[in-house]
DNA sequence: TGCCAACCGGGGCGTGCGTTCCGTATCGTC
DNA sequence: GACGATACGGAACGCACGCCCCGGTTGGCA
C-alpha cells in the first residue's frame, strides 16, 4: 500500500469515528469525506460500502464489550447489570453504539447473542424474571440507548430498567 | 365542496388510516395515493403537507387518549399505569401511535403534557419514584412503543417499565 | 530522473421521496 | 345542454443520499 493511501485511510477512519459518534450512522458519507479532506471516491476505495466503514469504526469497541460480556462470572445478576450500565454509559457519550445494535452486521448479531447469554445466566440464578426473552431485552436496550440522545437521564432510566428486570413476575 | 371532492377526501383518509397504522409515518405518500385510487396531486389538494394528513388521521384517537389522561382520578398511580397500558395496547396494533409521539405537532406536545400531568400526580401520592422526569417517561414510552413492532412481548415490557417506575429510589 | 502503476478528487448517475404544475375531465348551475 | 368553476391525475421538479467513473496527479521503484 502506498504511503498516501495509508494516510488517507487513517484520515477517513478518524473522521468517521468522530462523526458516527456525534451523529450516528445516518451522517451522510460525503460529510465524512469532507471532514477527512478527501473526496467520496477515496472513501469507497478503502471501504466497499458505508456499512463496512461503520463496522471498521465500531468493531474494536464493540468486540471488547462482547468479550467482557462472555467471560464467566460468579455473580451473573451483577454481571448483567454491570454490562447494561457500561452500555448506557457508552451510549450516552457516543451515538454510534445505539446504531451498532440496530444496523445489520455480524457484530450486531454477536452483541445480541452475548446479551442473550448474560440474560440466561442471570435468570438461572434467579436474579432476573424468567419471562423476559433476549428479544425483549434487546428491545428495551434499544429504546433506552436511543432515549439517551434526547435528554433523558441515563442513570434513572438504567435504574428503572434494572429494577424492572429484577421484579418478580406478576401473578 | 363538490361531491367528488368529498368522496376523494374520504378515500384518502381511509387509505392513510390503513397505511399509517400498518407501516407508520414513513410510508410513501404515493403509496397512500395509490391505495386511495387517486393521484398524489389530489392528496395535496386536501392536505397541505404529509404531516397535516398524518395529524388528520391520528387527531381523533390521540385526542381521546389525552382527554382520558387529563380527567381527575382518585388513584393517580393506577391511572398512570392504566394509561401506559392503553398506549401499549394501541401501539401493539397500530404503528402510527408510536410516530404520533415523535413527529412534531401540537398533538404530540399535548400528549407529552398529559403524560407529564399523570406522572406528577402519581408522584404526589408516592406511587412513582420522584426522580423520574416527564422527559424520562416520554423517552421510556418511545422506546417501549417502538420495540413492540420488533417482536418484543408488549405485556412483559409494560410490566418491567411499570415496576421499574414504582421501585424506590436507589440509596 | 523517468516511468508506470496506484491513487485521488469530484462530478455524475440512479433512486426514492415530498411537493408542485398544468392540461384535461368532471361537476353543478343556468 | 352548454358553460365556467372546480377538481383530478400523473408527469415533472428539487433535494438528499449512496455509490461509481474517469481524467489528472502522485508516489516509489529501476
Contact at CB, A140 and B136, closer than 8 angstroms = no
- Say if residues B73 and B35 touch (Cβ distance below 8 Å): no
Closest residue to D20 (CA, C1′): A41
Rounded Cα distance between B61 and A59, Å, is 44
Range scoring the smallest mean pLDDT among A34-48, A118-132, A141-155: A141-155
Does pLDDT of B170 surpass 60? no
Q: For the segment A82-104, what is each residue's pLDDT rounded down to a tens digit?
A: 999 999 999 999 999 999 999 88
Separation between Cα atoms, residue B116 and residue B122, nearest integer Å = 10
Q: Give, in degrees to the nearest 5, the angle at Cα A80 between A127 and A26.
A: 140
Place of cell 412481548: B153
Neighbour-count burial of B169, counting CB atoms closer than 10 A to its CB (0-12 exposed, 13-18 middle, 19+ buried): exposed
Distance CA A131, CA A134 (A): 10
Distance, CA of B4 to C1' of C27, in Å: 8
The set of cell numbers assigned to B108 is 404530540
pLDDT computed for residue B167 by the predictor: 86
CB A114 within 8 A of CB A40: no
Question: Does residue A122 contact residue A76 with C-beta atoms inside 8 Å?
Answer: yes
* Grid-cell match 488517507, residue found: A8
Cα distances from B58 to residues A33, B6, B16, B36, B75, in angstroms, run: 41, 19, 10, 18, 28
Handedness of CA B110, B116, B117, B119 (dihedral sign): positive
Q: Give pTM, 2 decimals.
A: 0.91
Residue of B nearest to A165 (CA): B160
Q: Taking a C-beta distance cutoff of 8 angstroms, is the pair A12, A38 a contact?
A: yes
Element (H, E) at B93: helix B76-93
The confidence score (pLDDT) of residue A32 equals 98
Specify the higher pLDDT residue, B92 or B169.
Answer: B92
> How close A14 comes to chain B (CA, Å)?
31
pLDDT greater than 90 at residue A122: yes
Kindly list the distances between the CA atom of residue B155 and the CA atoms of B15, B62, B75, B160, in Å, as whole numbers in the listed order. 30, 21, 22, 9
Residue A168 pLDDT class (50, 70, 90 cuts): confident
Is some CB atom of chain B closer than 8 A to the CB atom of A151?
yes
Compare all CA atoms of chain B with the CA of A159 and give the residue at the minimum distance: B164
Name, in order, each residue with C-beta under 8 angstroms of B69's C-beta and a sequence gap of 6 or more.
B79, B83, B114, B115, B117, B118
Distance CA A164, CA A60 (A): 31
Nearest to B146 by CA among A114, A165, A167, A98: A98
pLDDT (average), residues A60-75: 96
Tell which strand C nucleotides have any atom below 7 Å from a protein Cβ.
Answer: 6-12, 16-22, 26-28
Q: Does B146 contact chain A (CB < 8 Å)?
A: yes
- pLDDT single digits (tens) B72-96: 999 999 999 999 999 999 999 999 9
Tell me whether residues A140 and B163 touch, CB distance under 8 A.
no
pLDDT reported for residue A98: 93
Angle separating helix axes A3-23 and A29-36, nearest 10 degrees? 130
For chain B, say whether A130 makes contact (Cβ under 8 Å). no
Are B36 and B25 contacting, i.e. CB atoms less than 8 angstroms apart?
Answer: no
Least Cα distance to A132 among B152, B48, B36, B58 occurs for B152
Judged by CB atoms closer than 8 Å, whether chains meet at A147 and B160 is answered as no
- Interface residues 23-82 of A with strand D (CB < 7 Å): 26, 28-30, 40-41, 44, 48-51
pLDDT of residue B22: 97
- Name the band, by pLDDT with cuts 50, 70 and 90, for residue B56: very high
pLDDT at A169: 65
Percentage of chain A beyond pLDDT 90 is: 85
> Grid coordinates standing for B100?
404520533
pLDDT above 60: residue B171? no
A135·B157 Cβ contact <8 A: no
Residue A171: what pLDDT? 47
What share of chain A in percent tops pLDDT 70? Answer: 98
Amino acid at each position: 500500500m502506498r504511503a498516501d493511501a495509508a494516510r488517507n485511510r487513517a484520515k477517513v477512519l478518524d473522521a468517521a469515528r468522530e462523526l458516527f459518534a456525534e451523529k450516528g450512522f445516518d451522517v451522510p458519507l460525503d460529510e465524512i469525506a469532507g471532514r477527512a479532506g478527501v473526496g467520496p471516491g477515496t472513501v469507497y476505495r478503502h471501504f466497499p460500502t458505508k456499512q463496512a466503514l461503520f463496522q471498521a469504526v465500531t468493531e474494536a469497541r464493540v468486540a471488547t464489550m462482547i468479550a467482557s460480556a462472555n467471560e464467566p462470572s460468579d455473580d451473573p445478576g451483577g454481571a448483567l447489570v454491570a454490562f447494561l450500565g457500561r452500555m448506557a454509559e457508552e451510549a450516552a457519550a457516543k451515538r454510534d453504539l445505539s446504531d451498532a445494535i440496530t444496523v445489520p452486521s455480524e457484530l450486531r448479531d454477536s452483541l445480541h447473542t452475548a446479551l442473550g447469554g448474560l440474560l440466561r445466566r442471570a435468570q438461572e440464578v434467579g436474579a432476573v424474571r424468567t419471562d423476559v426473552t433476549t428479544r425483549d431485552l434487546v428491545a428495551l436496550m434499544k429504546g433506552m440507548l436511543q432515549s439517551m440522545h434526547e435528554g433523558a437521564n441515563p442513570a434513572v432510566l438504567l435504574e428503572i430498567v434494572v429494577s424492572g428486570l429484577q421484579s418478580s413476575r406478576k401473578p
